[in-house]
Chains A and B, each alone.
Chain A
Amino acid sequence: METTILNLAHGFSVALAPTNLWYAFLGCLVGTLVGVLPGIGPLAGISILLPVTFGLNATQAIIMLAGIYYGSQYGGSTTSILMRIPGEASSVMTCIDGYAMAKKGRAGAALCIAAVGSWIGGTFGVLVLTMVAPPLATIALRFGPPEYTALLILGLIFLAYMSSSSLIRTLLMACLGLLLGMIGIDNMTGHFRYSFDLAELGDGIGIVPVAVGLFGLGEILSTPSAGAVKDIISPRLRDLLPTRKEWNEATMPITRGTLLGFIIGIIPGSAHVISSFLSYAIEKRISKHPEQFGKGAVAGVAGPETANNAASTGAFVPLLALGIPTSPITAVLIGALMIHGVSVGPTLVNEHPDVFWGFVASMYVGNIMLLVLNLPLVSLFVTVLRIPYAYLYPMIIMFCIIGVYAVNNSIVDVWIMLIMGILGYALRKFDFDPAPLVLGLVIAPILEQSLRQSLIMSNGDYLIFFSRPISLGLMMVSISLLALAAYAFVLQRTDWRTKLAEVEAGEKEL
């Protein structure tokens, strides 16, 4: 514990350096804007802005990119409350009661509760991350190829199980991502795979063109400019403070949302989306006045907003301790660190203490910055929404091209982005969530290498995954989850995924 405190103190000395503070601020500011703007989510935002970090060192880069990530969670609530448009997926639940509060003249209070809840959820997440990640990394040092294989398989199954779309759809997306991740030179044999004599494909398909194409360009193609401008409720600064009654109503949902969000954040999948949905469902279920939900219940804003921010922070635990991405966003962050020559995994805490502890400390600082940014400047952020979408999207396309081209100075990457944009558009038409594809793309090389190494180690015996204690435990969890999914399928039970889809489609009662 003492070592952790000393390391954290070192982290603060890194995070509070003026240059790092500036990049944390920049990340939070851009992240809030990314969250506010419909049609550009955190994943596309981080990917597009990745080249901006090329001139920075690894610590500054991760501080800025993480700021964009959790800043977008804050910003997403603004459009949900004031316009009933979720800036990004995790803010869907906030739309329901947040907008209802705004219609009743309590927009300022809703924004304040969302911001304070987000701050508490985020800060709690960082506190636990500080304590949990280093010891977990020590355990992870004992991981060999079979353990990594079992962990990655569990990650994929968890992703499918917890995904907001159906199990089969998620698995199909993950398979497509895994196949895309196998394009290029095979590290173990040197064979070129599916590269069609294009030298640029020898190194494989990068995560940036795929992520920007699917989530940036794909979203633009799916958003006709005619329907993008909506009425905006402008809150007055003096109305920002909630009443004592509203604070009392928010206290317990914030507490529950914090714990729930963090736990779900550690689990692979679109954690922040799921956590906000579950938080809303729980708050409604245990409320003494469930009839108020949908009509401006404070708990309907406080719980989900807190949970999605706590989940965003929770997602950093497996990333920093194990080097395993649990969401496409953390996958992009791994890619960003790799570009800067930092390998993410159990050795990160010892080999790059400045990056690890500087990053952790910057999250404390960033959460305070976001609280300060989001409340007084809310009217300013909302002003951005008044720019007609017809003028906004050409600018986003330009940033997509700059962002993708700058990673490798490769026009092939830009063509891949364009193809992925078309794919992203088509996937939306057929109700597929592209997020598992990106995750599959990132884990493909690690999964393939660890699986093949495990088989070589065991002379082709699959039982190696069941003969070592850690991999056995992980495999048993995977099998249990598959059994549960099969059970639900057999019973044709309407589970929470279907309910979420219904809520997203038409805000059906939970």
Chain B
Amino acid sequence: MILRADHVAGAFFAGVGLLVIALSGDLPTGTLSLPGSGFMPKIIAVLMIFFGVVLALRARESKPFASVPWSDAKHAAMVVAITAIGVALYEWLGFLTTNILLMFALLVIIERRKLLPAAIYSIGVVAITYVLFVYLLKTPLQTGPFGI
């Protein structure tokens, strides 16, 4: 049997449904006349398992799992990793420093741009955005260790 994309997707969603039911153990289901906080999540989780199984059963209509294109996965993973580092530093370093470093890293590490244009672009875009938000739109942005 060929493993197809919908086999994987169906199993994933059925798994999520089972996980929700497992996590709902301490939530009271209640009765029909007085439904508890676990009533609705359990119904939806059961529906999700059902639809997941149907999707997997009808998987022959989908493409083989091996043909799902992952050529962009490395690019995506690098973007996620650098953004995650940026998010982790955001509250500590503040808007200006974090975003300059984030944009610079994306441009230099992933896009292989030259250092000087990447630095000028990063500093310029972040500075313009800072002025736009803080002074024109009066929307405060996260400040860093030096109050900027």
A residues apposed to B, CB below 8 Å: 51-52, 54-55, 168-169, 171-172, 175-176, 178-179, 182, 186, 188-189, 191, 193-194, 217, 220-225, 390-391, 393-395, 397-399, 401-402, 405-406, 409, 411, 414-415, 418, 421-422, 425, 429-432, 447-448, 451-452, 455-456, 458-462
Contact = CB atoms under 8 A, between A and B. Distances in A.
Contact of A394 (B45, B103, B138): B103
Chain B CB within 10 Å, residue with most, of A52, A186, A217, A458:
A186
B44 A418 contact: no
Given A172-B48, A179-B20, A397 B83 contact: yes
A189 B26 CA distance: 13
A224 B110 CA distance: 11
A398 B102 contact: yes
Interface string B103-119: 10011001101000000
Contact of B44 (A178, A425, A429): A178
B131 interface: no
A395 B139 contact: no
The dominant DSSP class at the A interface is helix
Contacts of A168: 51, 54-55, 58
Contacts of A394: 102-103, 106-107, 122
B2 interface: no
Given A405-B142, A418-B84, A456-B34, A431 B5 contact: yes
Contacts of B83: 217, 397, 401, 418, 421
Contact of A182 (B17, B41, B76): B41
Interface of B: 5-6, 8-9, 13, 16-17, 20, 23-24, 27-28, 31-41, 44-45, 47-48, 51-52, 54-55, 58, 62, 68-72, 75-76, 79-80, 83-84, 86-87, 90-91, 95, 99, 102-103, 106-107, 110-111, 113, 121-122, 125-126, 129, 133, 137-139, 141-142
Contact of A429 (B16, B47, B58, B68): B68
Contacts of A456: 33-35
Contacts of B138: 55
Nearest to A415: B87
A300 to B, nearest CB: 29
B76 A460 contact: no
Contacts of B84: 418
Given A176-B13, A395-B103, A221 B41 contact: no
A270 B125 CA distance: 34
Nearest to A399: B129
A412 B33 CA distance: 37
A429 B32 contact: no
Contacts of B111: 225, 390
Given A55-B137, A168-B54, A422-B80, 19 more contacts: A55-B138, A171-B51, A175-B44, A175-B48, A178-B44, A182-B41, A186-B37, A191-B37, A193-B41, A394-B103, A401-B83, A401-B99, A429-B68, A430-B6, A451-B35, A455-B32, A455-B33, A456-B33, A456-B35
